[in-house]
Amino acid sequence: MSVRPLSHQERCDAVAEQIVEFVAMTRGVDPQRAVPTCPGWTLAGLIKHMGHVHRWVTQIVEKLPTERLPFPEDQLGLPDDPYAYPDWLADGAEALLMTLRAADPDTPVWAWGPDHYVRFWSRRTLHETTVHHFDAAVTVGVEPEIDPAVAADGISEFLVNLPYAALWAPSVAELRGDGEGLRLTAEDVGLSWHVTLRPEGYEWRQETHEQPSGLVSVSVRGAVADLYLLLWGRRDTNDPRFRVEGDTALLEHWVASSAI
């Protein structure tokens, strides 16, 4: 199987699919149910977080600020009844998608990552939504499928943005080294991501061949969706879905320091 980069509109379409499934699976479920993959969170808290983010992104793309906008707390319209949260989430997502689809992805706008264009927000929203859709699915006892193209895009998105998350995840600054290499190989799509730890931080590249082009201290092989979930802390390194070879202590260091 091969995958290609996703366009802005394809990311919007993927967000729409995620939301439809998210809302359908959470409607009528006890909102106080604990979310196993987000310790301390309830389903109501998860949905509320998603709705906040979606409404925030809508305002960013509408207003095109050059600096960060605060969450629109006074305009959220959150229902009093947590059982109504899924429909509230759907309403916010409808406005979000209308705004994103109408926007030029190459329009400059503030972003917390390095890509200061509207396209940052369609991509970031897709992966925020996909990961939390997974969280919701696990909460209701379902194992959702993640499209390989979405997962591959998400691995690269994670690696691009991770250094900029140090503002709220200071452990990211610990991702340094003397040339050690971490290689993630998605056997189902023929792609690999090679991360090299440097004294000043890390660098990475995506490759389409199996032969390493640099030092590999530890390698992880598996399906692209599982590697995606591993980066986001939704899979464990000892999960039998993975084949790990090499310096496992380096892998554990990566996982602990990259948790955002």
| pLDDT tens by residue, 85-128 | 999 999 999 999 999 999 999 999 999 999 999 999 999 999 99
For the chain, the distance separating the N- and C-terminal CA atoms, rounded to the nearest angstrom, is 30
Q: Quick check: 31 and 43 in contact, CB under 8 A?
A: yes
183 has which bridge partners?
A: 194, 219
Give the pLDDT score at 177: 96
Give the pLDDT score at 2: 64
Average pLDDT over residues 135-150: 95
Average pLDDT over residues 205-210: 81
Average pLDDT over residues 146-151: 96
Domains of the chain (ranges, CATH numbers):
8-144 (1.20.120), 153-257 (3.30.1050.10)
Q: Percent of the chain scored above 70 by pLDDT? A: 96
Give the pLDDT score at 230: 98
Give the pLDDT score at 76: 77
Which pTM value belongs to this model? 0.96
Give the pLDDT score at 210: 64
Q: Does the structure show a pLDDT above 70 at 211?
A: no
Average pLDDT over residues 211-225: 88
Give the pLDDT score at 25: 96
Average pLDDT over residues 19-26: 97
Average pLDDT over residues 22-47: 97
Q: 51 falls in which pLDDT band (50, 70, 90)?
A: very high
10 Å CB burial of residue 12 (0-12, 13-18, 19+) is: buried
Give the pLDDT score at 1: 67
pLDDT: which is higher, 235 or 77: 235
Give the pLDDT score at 186: 96
In the chain, count of helices (H) and strands (E)? 7, 5
Q: Does the structure show a pLDDT above 80 at 202?
A: yes
- Amino acid in position 28: G
185 has which bridge partners?
A: 192, 221
Average pLDDT for the chain: 95
